[in-house]
Amino acid sequence: MECSLYIRRPDFYWRPRHPDRGRTIIRDRGPSAMLTKIWGAASAIALLVGAGTAAAAPVKIDMWFGNTGDIAKRVGEQCDRFNASQTDYQIVCTSQGSYDASLQNTIAAFRAGQQPTIAQVSDVGTLDIMLSGAFYPAEKLMKDNGYTIDWNDYFGGIRSYFATSAGEMYSFPFNSSTALLYWNKDAYAKIGKTEAPATWEEAAADFKALKAAGYSCPLGFNISSNEVWQYEEQFLAVHGEPNATLNNGYDGLGAEMVFNRGKWVQFVRDLKSWYDAGAAVIKSKETGQTFVDAFAAGDCQTILTSVGDHGAIGRTAKEGMNWGVAMLPVYEGTERKNSLVGGASLWVLAGKSEPEYKAAAAFLNFIAKPEEALTWSTVTGYIPVRQSGFEYLKNQGFYDKAPYAGREIAIQSLTVTPPTGVTRGNRLGGLLQIRNEIANGLQAIFIQNADVQTALDDAATRSNAILRRFEQTYEGKQLP
């Protein structure tokens, strides 16, 4: 039987070089036809006879991902567990060094016809790959390969980020996270506090008290493009305010950035005032210590970071340090909304063979098992992406154990309210570049003492130029 996979030719850099000016056609004629074509009938018979006495080699596929350091090791271990669980398939998982490098390397490989079967794409690249058409939709992949998946089992906030407007899942949520406040309970006890600050007004008073108590870094933070999502996108979500018009881009490519309005402007002003007073300190690789490392060492008493860092902090925290996590603070009078899902998802790319797709479906089915969710959450800090996985962890007493207690707060933060039009996430083209422009605006404010409103207005203008270029690239296209 001849099976053809048709890929609509996208309008941007994903397309493979091909003489066809209409659409690219990738054909998989099946093992028998390929053997006949290459070896001839006699060779095919000889190979078939030999197959009866020797085990067939496993189907090998590649997965490229962007995580590094400890998380990269954990991804490798997960791939090893899959390989050890069966003999039909072998997955080779390779870190590309960063989320951005993983996406760009995948694009280049696709154009050269050497793409991996599975690619990890961070949240910021979701719209880019959605519009490329260079993938095998997750729901179709699993159905085509005989797997029954309860897609409604995914947490609403996670599902809505990676699904189409019609609710179809295009990719598999993988390392999902959200931002939390980490606090040193011992330090806070010295200022008479037994609870983490729930409002930013309360946090401001706590930072001032910690500074007066002799702590040199009440709040450690970083304003780089890699970290700005924790202070901007997550802040806006829990306050129920938009990052961009058209429901953060979900309703069309004509969205414009509006982060330079509303409560986030006040937050940047407050953060700058804490910074000027020495109650908030920039911690990064450039300063010699990241804010996560500074918290684990007991040098900073409060940070905002991903729940995905929970495992690393637990393994590296200063001996005897008593610490915990809480939901992000909100300003007084705010009706808290759900926070956003961060991290990345796994996309199965177009242009591979039927056996490779069977291998991909088997791997994705493997990592979706509740038992695997337990192992994954244990060694990383990332949250289970399904309700069934979360319930399995609770029934195993996972969140009752000291190293893991508190991670359930990430689930609470993601589900405190059903997702609204502006708390589903951000479906914006060029989001990585937009984060860069927001970071540039913050750099101007904190390093060059630029006026807050002017710097944020300028960052919004530059970000809107990115959106307009993206819109022109996909002129006339409708969002999925």
Q: What is the pLDDT of residue 458?
A: 98
Would you state the pLDDT for residue 55?
Answer: 64
Closest among 320, 329, 381 to 184, alpha carbons compared: 320
Can you give the pLDDT at residue 18? 37
Residue 33's pLDDT is 39
- Is pLDDT at 147 greater than 90 in this prediction? yes
Instruction: Say if residue 366's pLDDT is above 80.
Output: yes
**Tens digit of each residue's pLDDT (9 = 90 or more) over 437-448:** 999 999 999 999
Which pLDDT band, with edges at 50, 70 and 90, does 86 fall under? very high
SS3 category, 121:
strand
CATH code of 3-177+343-398, in short, is 3.40.190.10
In the chain, residues under CATH classification 3.40.190.10 are 3-177+343-398, 179-339+430-473
pLDDT in tens, 148-157: 989 889 888 8
The region of weakest confidence among 94-103, 321-330, 449-458 is 94-103
B/e letters for 188-226, b = 16+ CB within 10 Å, e = fewer, are beebebeebbbebeebbebbebbbeeebebbbbbbbebe
Q: E strand or H helix at 180, and its extent?
A: strand 179-184
The topology (CATH level 3) of 179-339+430-473 is D-Maltodextrin-Binding Protein; domain 2 (3.40.190)
Q: Which residue has the higher pLDDT, 477 or 304?
A: 304
